Amino acid sequence: MVSTSHSVRRALRQQLAGDRLLGLRSVPMGLVAAPATPEHKTPVLAGVKASGGSSEKSALLSVIDETRVKGCRRCGLSETRAQTVFGQGNSDARLVFVGEAPGYEEDKQGLAFVGKAGQLLTKMIDAMGTSREEVYICNVLKCRPPGNRDPMADEILACGDYLREQLSIIEPEIIVALGAPAAKTLLHTGLSIGKLRGRFHDYFISGEPGSGKAIPLMPTYHPAYLLRSPGEKKKTWDDLQMVMAALGLVKRSG
Ligand code: URA
């Protein structure tokens, strides 16, 4: 049987050869420019596991972004976004933060968590003894909902493949879900964030609850909520300390 890492490398080689033939500059180390997948169908890369290092993972992530997300028209948010926000950071991260959706600044800059909530997230990450460069940061939705309204169920469904693929490529040791939409989406639950936070849950890479490899997921409050309710910061810090203990991170002093 052909191993998945072998098939990933073969696909990368085919893409490079195809690009050369067409006289194209490669999509960053790209894979086959996968045709836009029919809505909610399993895309070409689903189930492909990048077992190689960070460059292979980063190539796979770039391909998803360049060939599918940037031109995505799966839901109505494509009509109102300025640009998509795929996510950024270390493609081989031990820790991934998943938020809700881009806001005004993110939509403008094309980067996740760069507004006010992002500044608080940066402080939280630094306090954990790591950095934005070492972790990976993304959202459930890759496009901004108008006026920063809550994501709708059909939008979450339409965007679901992208997040699942990101997580299965990065395969971090721990995921932190920031806020209710991220926690509920990843855990397939209707429980409130207040009930979910404070302990690790299992996120199943297969997307099927209970099947295949699980990654520990810590739900906690969203930084935007903490800006409105600073009294809840202590609970979030408690959650993050559990993550630090699991990863062996030491709080940065000062
Ligand atoms: N809120 C989110 O959930 N994600 C962002 O990227 C910014 C704000």
Q: What is the pLDDT of residue 199?
A: 98
208 phi, psi to nearest 5 deg: -105, 110
Tens digit of pLDDT for each residue in 200-252? 999 999 988 899 999 999 999 999 999 999 999 999 999 999 999 999 999 87
d(CA 247, CA 243): 6
Contact present, 91 and 136 (Cβ < 8 Å): yes
Among the residue ranges 3-12, 13-22, 160-169, 185-194, the one predicted with the least confidence is 13-22
pLDDT in tens, 50-79: 556 889 999 999 999 999 999 999 999 999
Ligand 1 pocket: which of 84, 113, 114, 155 to mutate (most atoms <8 Å of CB)? 113
What does the domain layout of the chain look like in residue ranges?
A: 1-41, 43-247
Q: Ligand 1 centre and the CA of 85: distance in Å?
A: 10
Q: Ligand 1: residues whose CB is within 6 Å?
A: 99-103, 106, 112-113, 115, 117-118, 139, 224
Each residue's pLDDT tens digit, 129-154: 999 999 999 999 999 999 999 999 99
Burial 142-167 (b: 16+ CB within 10 A, else e): bbbbeeeeebeeebbebbbbbbbbbb
The helix (run of H) or strand (run of E) holding residue 57 is helix 54-64
> Distances from the Cα of 171 to the Cαs of 17, 85, 97, 180, in angstroms?
28, 20, 12, 22
38-51, pLDDT tens digit by residue? Answer: 333 333 343 444 55
Q: Could you give the angle at the alpha carbon of 201 between the alpha carbons of 200 and 203, nearest 5°? A: 130
Confidence band for 177, pLDDT divided at 50, 70 and 90? very high
**Dist CA 151 CA 145 (whole Å):** 7
The set of residues, in sequence order, having a beta carbon less than 8 Å from that of 200 and lying 6+ positions away, is: 174, 216, 217, 218, 242, 246
Q: What atom in ligand 1 is closest to the CA of residue 117?
A: 8
Percent of the chain with pLDDT over 90: 75
Sequence-ordered list of residues with C-beta below 8 angstroms from that of 165, at least 6 positions apart, any chain: 43, 45, 46, 64
In terms of C-beta density within 10 A (0-12 exposed, 13-18 middle, 19 or more buried), how is residue 174 classed?
buried
Of 3.40.470.10, 3.30.70.20, 3.40.980.10, 3.90.1150.10, the CATH number of 43-247 is: 3.40.470.10
State the distance from the centre of ligand 1 to the C-alpha of 15, rounded, in angstroms.
Answer: 33
Per-residue confidence (pLDDT) for residue 252, from 0 to 100: 75
Q: Which atom of ligand 1 is nearest to the CA of 223?
A: 1
What is the torsion angle, in degrees rounded to the nearest 10, for the CA atoms of residue 41, residue 47, residue 53 and residue 55?
A: -20
Residue 97 above 70 pLDDT? yes
18 pLDDT higher than 50: no
Size (the chain), residues: 254
Who's near 215: CB < 8 A, 6+ residues apart?
A: 167, 171, 172, 173, 174, 175, 202, 203, 205
The residues near 59 (Cβ < 8 Å, ≥ 6 apart) are 12, 28, 29, 30, 31
Q: Whose CA is nearest to atom 7 of ligand 1?
A: 113
Other residues' Cβ atoms within 10 Å of the Cβ of residue 49: 17
What pLDDT does residue 251 have? 84
